[in-house]
Amino acid sequence: MIKYAIVPTAWGEVLLAGSARGLCGLALPPARKCDPHRRAKKIWNECTHAGSLLQDLQNQIAQYFDGQTIDFNASVDLSGLTDFQQKVLTTTKQLKYGQTITYANLGKSIGQPTAARAVAQALGQNPIPLVIPCHRVIGSDGLGGFSAEQGVKLKQKMLEMEAAALAATA
């Protein structure tokens, strides 16, 4: 059974989905205001609302979008993904706030030095963006893609916010 929660943030509503194994889905703020319950049902079909789901993570997400330096530590459920996808996402989850890596270097770090394209495809299937910070993986010639609803504009905004927060503390 999938349960979901709605997290109001300074950037819009984030949706979380959890299974018995942990966080299994996260939807970043949409481009336009919409009914979050309808949006959750569209993304996860058979799900029920549980407002207090992963309350610590909800607080961390709100803090992140307020510009605070957050490294997420939630338990995640990647059971529906291939071994390769899980390896890519598990490695990506280790990226720290403000840190970036290229798709090619991520491929090298998992022992697949020629797999930059496959790494990008695995990241495009990331069900838990932000907590598994795929926005921190960039192309060697630019930002690369971002499969969140707001696309590369949101990726760029998140990276700029992280860089600004790190600069403010330096």
Any idea which residues carry the catalytic annotation?
134
Give how far Cα 158 sits from Cα of 67, 146, 154, 163, Å: 9, 11, 6, 9
Report which of 128, 20, 110 is spatially closest to residue 72, judged by C-alpha positions. 128
Contact between 87 and 110 (Cβ < 8 Å): yes
Cβ–Cβ contacts within 10 Å for residue 37, how many? Answer: 13
Instruction: List the beta bridge partners of residue 5.
Output: 16
In angstroms, the CA 84 to CA 54 distance is: 27
Report which of 66, 57, 72 is spatially closest to residue 161, judged by C-alpha positions. 66
In the structure encoding, which two tokens stand for residue 151, read together? 């696309």
Dihedral pair phi/psi, residue 60, rounded to 5°: -60, -40
